[in-house]
Amino acid sequence: MDDQASVEFLNDFELLESGIPTIEAYEHLQETKLYLKMKSFSNDFANTYQIGDAFRHWSRRWEYSYAFSQISRYISTHTNDLRIMDAGSAIRFFPFFVNEAQKNAELMCCDIQPGLENEYARINKQISKDVQYTETDLRKQPFDDNSFDIIYCISVLEHTQDYEIIVKEFKRLLKPGGLLILSFDIALSSGKVEGLHPLEAKTLQKTIYQYFQPKSHLRFGPQFKKNILTTKHFDKKELPWRRTAKDALIPTLKHLLNFKKNPWRQTVNYTLIPALKHVREFWKTPPLPSFMYLTIFCETYINKPK
């Protein structure tokens, strides 16, 4: 992918508005060059490096497209070299996609999960431009103040009780005028859920507003309409908690067939053990009720000087 391809996607970005996406906007996104390029990149990445295809995940298709659009908009008005942080990155195709598309950007991925440093090193050996990685707690990071121009954090804050501490760290790390891109899941049903209750989402949003200026002020209430994008719009295979034992084991068997390319220790740590845990949970836990569903919320903020 070259810089011209990145500029070409700018025509697609008007669809990716902040807030909660609609089904219509998502279906339109699927026809864009950006979506098709990202889908192809993720598929090739998964096959080449034996990493799960993150673009299969129901919300990532919109979240990654949204994040990339915001990053590209910002970079289009800044000619100097930029530093970008993927906060809570795990190991996914997306930072490598951004790194390849944006030639004047340097990517730093951060996660608390042990062992990912070896995975990043393994992939970096086969690409022309490294994606850096640091194992660190997002609540207390080793970087200096004003170290980054952009920080994006995809569906992480709803999984922690310390999101205000993390947001304050983002404030410290971002340069004045820098960009913070966030997304998180919102639960639209009661019981065992993976996202934030709407009232919790409002509290999180208010917390962020204490430290950052949103590019556009958004309210949750008016957006909860029948046409918003939710998990009900997707097949169960695209929902992490609805996958079957078969869905968990097949990728594991594929990895084992590529044993020579995938050292045993990495296979055990990142493929076999998670898959077996998933199978165990599948048999131990009854299916979640069909009325459980989520939506996603995306918003971008400016780090205004105090």
CATH number, position 24: 3.40.50.150
Per-residue pLDDT, 4: 42
In a domain, 60, yes or no: yes
In a domain, 24, yes or no: yes
Rounded to an integer, the average pLDDT of 31-36 is 91
**pLDDT surpasses 70 at 143:** yes
**pLDDT surpasses 70 at 41:** yes
**pLDDT surpasses 60 at 258:** no
* Lowest mean pLDDT segment, chosen from 8-12, 37-41, 206-210: 8-12
In a domain, 254, yes or no: no
**pLDDT surpasses 80 at 96:** yes
Percent pLDDT > 90 in the chain is: 52
Positive or negative: CA dihedral 276, 281, 287, 292:
negative
**pLDDT surpasses 90 at 51:** no
In a domain, 208, yes or no: yes
Max avg pLDDT among 155-169, 260-274, 279-293 = 155-169
In a domain, 242, yes or no: no
Per-residue pLDDT, 135: 95
**pLDDT surpasses 80 at 266:** no
* Lowest mean pLDDT segment, chosen from 77-81, 111-115, 117-121, 236-240: 236-240
Q: What Cα–Cα distance (Å) separates residue 182 from each residue in 16, 64, 240, 256?
A: 14, 11, 20, 36
Q: How confident is the model at residue 153 (pLDDT cuts 50, 70, 90)?
A: very high
User: CA geometry: angle at 70 spanning 118 and 149, to 5°?
Assistant: 60
What domain range includes position 33? Answer: 3-232+296-302
In a domain, 219, yes or no: yes
219 or 24, higher pLDDT: 24
In a domain, 211, yes or no: yes
Domains identified in the chain, total number = 1
Per-residue pLDDT, 63: 97
In a domain, 228, yes or no: yes
Per-residue pLDDT, 105: 92
Query: Can you tell me the distance from the alpha carbon of 75 to that of 40, in angstroms, rounded to the nearest whole number?
Result: 23
Q: How confident is the model at residue 224 (pLDDT cuts 50, 70, 90)?
A: low
88 or 258, higher pLDDT: 88
**pLDDT surpasses 90 at 255:** no
**pLDDT surpasses 50 at 291:** no
Q: How confident is the model at residue 272 (pLDDT cuts 50, 70, 90)?
A: low
